[in-house]
Amino acid sequence: PKYVYRFSEGDKDQKDLLGGKGANLAEMTRLGLPVPPGFTITTDACRAYLADGEVPDELAVQVTTALREVEEELGRGLGAQQDPLLVSVRSGAKFSMPGMMETVLNIGLNDSSVEGLAAVSGDRRFAWDSYRRLIQMFGKTVLDIDGDHFSDALEAKKEARGVSLDYELGVEALTELVEEYKTIVREHAGIDFPQDPRAQLDMATEAVFRSWNTERAHIYRRREKIPHDLGTAVNVCTMVFGNMGQTSGTGVCFTRDPSTGRSGVYGDYLVNAQGEDVVAGIRNTLSLADLEHLDKASYDELRSAMRKLETHYRDLCDIEFTIERGRLWLLQTRVGKRTAAAAFRVATQLVDEKLITMDEALTRVTGDQLTQLMFPQFNGETDRDLLTRAMPASPGAAVGYVVFDNEEAVARAEAGESVILVRRETNPDDLPGMVAASGVLTARGGKTSHAAVVARGMGKTCVCGAEALEVDAEAKTLRVAGREEVLTGKDVIAIDGTTGEVFLGEVAVVDSPVMTYLRRGLEEALEAAGGVDTRELVTSVHRLMRHADKVRRLEVRANADTPDDARHAIHRGAQGVGLCRTEHMFLGERKRYVQNLILAGNQDERERALAALLPLQKGDFVQMLETMDGRPMTVRLIDPPLHEFLPDLTELSVKVALERERGTLDPAEEELLAVVRRYHEANPMLGLRGVRLLLTMPGLIELQVRAVAEAAVERLREGGSPLPEIMIPLVGSVRELQIARERAEAVLAEVSAETGYELAFPVGCMIELPRAAVSADTIAEEADFFSFGTNDLTQTTWGFSRDDVESTFFKEYLEEGVFGVSPFETVDERGVGHLVELGAQRGRSARPGLKLGVCGEHGGDPESIGFFHRVGLDYVSCSPFRVPVARLEAGRAAV
Ligand code: PEP
Ligand code: MG
C-alpha cells in the first residue's frame, strides 16, 4: 500500500488517510501557497503499526523516496554537514486531538550538522540553541524522559550564568547545555542521543504512532466520541526558522475574529521567535497591523493567502505561519474553532458575501451554540471563591441568598431578594420554591433527577449532585467538605449551571441579548443591544432561526403544564403543547383531594372526592386552552405512582407507633397507614401508575376527560378554538388502550350530548415501554397518535432507574466508555432509538399517516432531534426553554 504522500499529492478531502493537518497542508500546496516541502505518512501506516507492533517494511522504503525528492527539490541533504536540511515531525489525526505527541522540531541536527547550520545562518548561537531544543523535545516526547530534567538543567545554567531569560544564554553556555542534555538522555533512556538523522526521523515517527495509545489520548477520544481505531498520520515538513533574526518571526492569524465573529483579519506575530516561544510568553506579541509596518511584502502575501484560503474553504480559517528572513511560509491551516457568537455571525457574513447559501449557513451553527447564547453568564473576570463543582444540570448563572425550604424561598423572593434553593434533593412539593428561586442546588441526584428535569423545564439554573455539600434543612445550615465556614440564610452563593461550579459570594452576571431577542423579538433586542457586535449577532440569530423555520419538516411543540409555561413556549415559537402532565395539577394543596380519592371507602365518598377535583382541573384546562388557542394541546392523563400522593410509609409507621405508645393515636391515622401499606410498592416506577392506575381507580379517567371536555366547551362558547388531544400514558397492550379509549370517548359523547358541541378529540397514547414499541401495529389500531416517551423508554429498555443511576454508577460507565453520553440525555440510537424507529414503522404500517411525536427529554436534545427527523417523526416536544434550540436543530436536520 501507499503509505507516504508528498504534500503535492493529496487534498483536503483525504482527512481519513492524511489526517486533518496533512490534508490541509496538501490542499495549500495544491493551491500554490508557500508551504515548505514535505510529506505525510498515512493513518494506514499507523494502523498497521498498531496492529503488528512494528513499522511496516515498505514504509522505510517509501520514506526514503519521498525524502530524496524533497532533498533534490531543495538541493540539501537531511542532516548534511553543509547547509543541512532539517525537518519537523508532527502528529495529525483526522480530528484535532490533544493528548498525543505533538511535535519534534529540528530533526537532522547532530554534532556536525549543527556547525553546518551555524555556517549557513551565520549565527552559531541560533544553531546551538536549535540543537539544544531538539535534544530536549526528542528526549521528552520520543524517549519519554521527564521534561523536568531538561528544564532543571536549563534553569541551573541560567542561574550559573547570572541571566534570567533563555535567549540571554550565549554559545558557550549552549554547547555546555547540549552536553548536559546528552548525559540526561544517556542516564534516563539508556541510549546515546542518536546522531544519525534518519534514525532520529524514524524514531520520532514511531513515537507519534505510539502516542495514539497513551492514556490521555484514550480519555480524550472517549470524551469526544472519537473512534479508537482511526490512527494518526505523521507530517514530515522542512524546517523554516522564525528565529533567524529581526527579519524573521512566527505568528497565528484568523481570517475573521474567532471570538466575536467580527469580519476583518486578526492575528498575533512574534519577531525572531519559534512557535513554542509564543506559549512561553517571553516576548510581547505584535498585531498583524504591526507586521504590515515591519514587512509589507510578507504581510501582503499573507493577506492574499488568507483571502485565498477563506474563499477556498468558504469558512473562517486559522493559519500558522513563519517568516524566515523576509520569506513567508505557511505551516498549517484549518477551518478555525470559534465561539458560539462568532459561529452565528460568520455564517451570515458568508451568506452576505455569497460564499455559502442559507442552507449551508444552517449547518455552520448548532443548537448547543444557540443554547450557550441564551443563558445569562457570569462575568469571568471577577475574583471567585470556588466552593465545589458538581453536575451542570440546567445552564445559566444565578446568584442569591442560600435558602433551605419553600416557604423561605417564596417569602424572600416576594420581598425582592434573589435566593438559591439548596436541598439535599428536591421532590414535587418543592415546586413553589423552585419557581421562586433564581437557581437550584442539590447535594444528590443526576441530570434527570427531579431538580434537574424541572429546572430545565423552567429554564432555571440548576447544579445537582454536589456531594461535597452537607445540607441541614432543619438547622438551615450548609457546610462544604474541606471548608471551615457554615453557611446560613445570610450568605450569598453563585451557581453556574453550565460548568457546575458553585461559588461563595457575589459573582457579576451579564444578560444575554439573544435571550432578549427570543423573548421579545428582533426590534426590542436591537434596541437593547449595546454595540454593533451585539446587533449583528442578534440579527444573525434571527435570520438563521427564520430560515430553520422555513426548511424544517419537524414541528416543535413544548412540554408545558401551566399557562405561564405555555405562554413562554409560544413566545419562543412553539406550535403546540406536546405534553401537559396533568399530575402537576394535583400537587400542592390539591394533594389532599387526591388522598381523599384514594382513601374513599365507598362510592359516595369517591364521588365527593371526584366532584371536588373536577372544577379545579377544569379551571386549569380552560386557562391552558385559552393560552394555546388554535394550537394543539396534548393532555396526558395522570401518570405517577400513587405513593407520590401519600405520606411516606416509614415516617408514618414511626408516627403511628409513637402515638399508639402514648395513647394519642387517631384512628384515621391508623386507617391511613393501612392504605399506605397496601399501596406501598418496592418498585413504584414499574408499578401502579399510568394507564394501570387509570383503569383500576374508578372515576379517574371520567374526571379528567370531563374536565378537558367541559373546559373545551367553555372555550367554544367564548368563540375560542380549543384543540385538545387526549393521551394515555404507559400503555403496554392494545387492550389497555382500548378500555381507556372507550371510557374517554363515552365521556366526550356525554358532554357533547349535554352541551350540543361536537367533541371528537383525538385519543392516542404514549409509547414508553418496549412492548408498546414492538407491538405498535396492534396498538395503532386504537390510537389516533403516538408520542414516544423516551424517558421511560430509556428506563425500561436499559433497566436503568431514571431517578438513581446518573448519580450512582454513570460516572464510571462514562469513563469506561460504556456510552459516550448518558442515554437519558441523547437518545441511544442502537437500542432505544431502534425501538422508536420500529414503533414508528409498525404504527404507520397499521395506520398510514399516524401522527408521531416524541415528548421525552430527548425532544430538546440537538443530536436526538436529528435522529427523530431521520426516522420520520412529525414533531418533537421539549421544555419551553429548549424550543428555539429544537427549531434550529430541526432546520439543520432538514438541509
Ligand atoms: C417519558 O417517559 O418520556 C415522558 C415524557 O413521561 P414522563 O417523563 O412524565 O414519565
Ligand atoms: Mg413517562
Q: What would the pLDDT profile of 698-723 be if each residue is shown by its tens digit?
A: 999 999 999 999 999 999 999 999 99
pLDDT band at 281 (very low <50, low <70, confident <90, very high): very low
* CA–CA separation, 64 and 90 (whole Å): 18
Model confidence at 878, pLDDT cuts 50, 70, 90, reads very high
Does residue 375 lie in a domain region?
no
In a domain, 661, yes or no: yes
What does the pLDDT read at residue 728? 98
SS3 5: strand
Domain that holds residue 435: 388-499
Is the pLDDT score of 279 beyond 50?
no
Report the CATH number that the domain containing residue 880 is assigned in CATH.
Answer: 3.20.20.60
Give the whole-angstrom CA distance, residue 328 versus residue 335: 20
Question: Mind spelling out the 3-state secondary structure of 472-502?
Answer: ECCCCEEEECCCCCEECCCCEEEEECCCCEE
Q: Are residues 291 and 410 in the same domain?
A: no
Single-letter amino acid code for the residue at 3:
Y
Identify the CATH number of the domain in which residue 132 sits. Answer: 3.30.1490.20
Task: Please report whether residue 530 resides in a domain.
Answer: no
Pocket of ligand 1 contains residue 581 by CB under 6 Å: yes
Counting Cα atoms < 13 Å in the Cβ hemisphere of 733 gives: 5
CA distance 629 to 620: 14
374 in any annotated domain: no
Condensed to tens digits (0 to 9), the pLDDT of residues 574-628 reads 999 999 999 877 877 788 888 888 888 889 999 999 999 999 999 999 999 999 9
Angle of the 563-571 helix axis to the 513-520 helix axis, nearest 10: 110
Question: pLDDT, tens digit, for every residue of 5-23?
Answer: 999 999 999 999 999 999 9
Q: How many CB atoms are closer than 10 A to CB 882?
A: 31
Mean pLDDT of 356-366: 97
Asked if residue 560 and residue 487 are part of one domain, the reply reads: no
Average pLDDT, the chain: 92
Q: Which residue, judged by its Cα, is nearest atom 10 of ligand 1?
A: 792
Q: Measure the CA–CA gap between 530 and 881, rounded to whole angstroms.
A: 24
Tell me the mean pLDDT in the region 426-443.
87
Query: For the whole model, what pTM was predicted?
Result: 0.82
At 657, list the grid cell: 407507633
273 vs 111: which has the higher pLDDT: 111
pLDDT of 460 over the 80 cut: yes
Q: Are residues 31 and 126 in the same domain?
A: yes
Distance 272 CA to ligand 1 centre (A): 62
Mutating to test ligand 1, I would choose from 577, 638, 792, 795 the residue with most ligand atoms within 8 A of its C-beta, which is: 792
Mark whether 11 and 85 lie in a shared domain.
Answer: yes
Q: Tell the residue nearest (CA) to atom 6 of ligand 1.
A: 789
Region 217-233: mean pLDDT is 82
ipTM here: 0.99
Average confidence (pLDDT) over 638-665: 89
- In order of 111, 135, 889, the CA distances from 179 in angstroms are 10, 10, 60
Confidence class for position 137, pLDDT limits 50, 70, 90: very high
Average pLDDT over residues 631-637: 98
**What percentage of the chain reaches a pLDDT higher than 70?**
97
Residue 448's pLDDT is: 58
Candidate of 454, 580, 685, 791 to mutate for ligand 1, largest count of ligand atoms within 8 Å of Cβ: 791
Output the DSSP codes for 588-641.
Answer: GGGHHHHHHHHH--SHHHHHHHHHHHHHHHHHHHHHHHHHTTTSEEEEEPP-S-
Cβ 883 vs Cβ 569: under 8 Å: yes
Q: What average pLDDT does range 442-455 have in this prediction?
A: 77
Task: Please determine, for residue 850, whether its predicted confidence score (pLDDT) is greater than 70.
Answer: yes
Domain for residue 358, yes or no? no
Q: Is residue 256 part of a domain?
A: yes
What's the rounded Cα separation, in Å, for the pair 840 and 767? 10
Side by side, the strands of the sheet bearing 439-442 are: 385-389, 501-504, 492-496, 397-403, 419-423, 439-442, 461-464, 391-394
Bridge partners of residue 423, in order along the sequence: 442
Q: Which residue has the cell 546522531?
A: 195
Q: Is the CB of 856 within 6 Å of ligand 1?
A: yes
- Nearest ligand, measured from the Cα of 788: 1
C-alpha to C-alpha distance for 365 and 382, rounded to whole angstroms:
30
Pair 610, 627 in one domain = yes
Give the torsion sign (CA, 356, 359, 364, 365): positive
In this structure, of 344-353, 502-511, 542-551, the range with the lowest mean pLDDT score is 502-511
Atom 3 of ligand 1, residue of closest alpha carbon: 789
Which are the contacts of 25, defined by CB distance < 8 A and separation ≥ 6?
Answer: 7, 10, 35, 38, 40, 235, 237, 332
Question: Which ligand number lies closest to the CA of residue 856?
Answer: 1
d(CA 874, CA 872): 6
Q: Mean of the pLDDT values across residues 440-448?
A: 81
Q: 590 with 696, same domain?
A: yes
List the alpha helices (DSSP H) in 665-733. 667-679, 691-696, 700-717
| pLDDT for the residue numbered 119 | 96
Residue range 553-572, pLDDT digits in tens: 999 999 999 999 999 999 99
**pLDDT for position 284:** 66
Average pLDDT over residues 738-759: 97
- 791 close to ligand 1 (CB < 6 Angstrom): yes
631 and 701, same domain (yes or no): yes
**Which residue's CA lies nearest to atom 9 of ligand 1?**
581
Q: Which residues, 6 or more positions from 616, have their beta carbon under 8 angstroms from its beta carbon? A: 585, 590, 593
Nearest atom within ligand 1 for CA of residue 790: 3
Asked if 177 and 281 sit in the same domain, the reply is no
Beta bridge partners of 558: 577, 878
Pair 145, 255 in one domain:
no
| Cβ-proximal residues to 393 (8 Å cutoff; 6+ apart), any chain | 446, 447, 449, 451, 452, 455, 456, 462, 463, 464, 465, 497, 500
Identify the residue whose cell numbers are 442560600.
402
Angle, helices 883-894 vs 862-870, to 10°: value is 50
Residue that finishes a domain, picked among 181, 206, 238: 238
Q: Is 545 helix (H, G, I), strand (E, B) or coil?
A: helix
With bands split at pLDDT 50, 70 and 90, how would you rate the model's confidence at 150? Answer: very high
Kindly state if the Cβ of 768 falls inside 6 Å of ligand 1.
yes
DSSP helix/strand/coil, 84? coil
Domain boundary pick from 499, 527, 544: 499
Answer yes or no: is 539 within a domain.
Answer: no
- Per-residue confidence (pLDDT) for residue 394, from 0 to 100: 79
The residue out of 213, 238, 263 marking a domain boundary is 238
Q: State yes or no: is 450 an active-site residue.
A: yes
Q: What is the pLDDT of residue 257?
A: 86
Residue 536 lies in a domain: no
Closest Cα to residue 737, out of 681, 784, 697, 705?
784
Q: Cβ(224)–Cβ(250) under 8 Å? A: no
Is the pLDDT at 66 greater than 70, yes or no?
yes
Of 237, 462, 765, 855, the catalytic one is 855
- State residue 255's pLDDT score: 94
Amino acid at the residue 138: F
The answer on 600 and 483 residing in a single domain is no
Grid coordinates standing for 250? Answer: 512566527
CA of 639 to the centre of ligand 2 (A): 7
Strands 577-581 and 555-559: parallel
Name the residue of 768, 868, 877 to mutate for ligand 1: max ligand atoms within 8 A of Cβ: 768
pLDDT at position 283: 56
* Confidence bin at 538 (pLDDT 50/70/90): very high
The residues with which 98 forms a beta bridge, in sequence order, are 100
Determine the Cα–Cα distance for residues 317 and 350; give it in Å rounded to an integer. 13
Residues 120 and 134 in one domain: yes
Residue 836: per-residue pLDDT: 98
**Domain containing 405 — which CATH number?**
3.50.30.10
671 plus 689 within the same structural domain: no
What is the reported pLDDT for 200? 98
Name, in order, each residue with C-beta under 8 angstroms of 175's C-beta and a sequence gap of 6 or more.
128
CA distances from 277 to 133, 166, 243 (A): 12, 10, 10
> Which stretch of 49-58, 126-135, 145-154, 529-538 has the lowest confidence by average pLDDT?
529-538
Q: Which residue has the higher pLDDT, 519 or 823?
A: 823
The predicted-structure confidence for 382-419, as pLDDT tens digits, reads as follows 678 999 999 888 778 899 999 999 999 999 998 889 99
Number of compact structural domains in the chain: 5
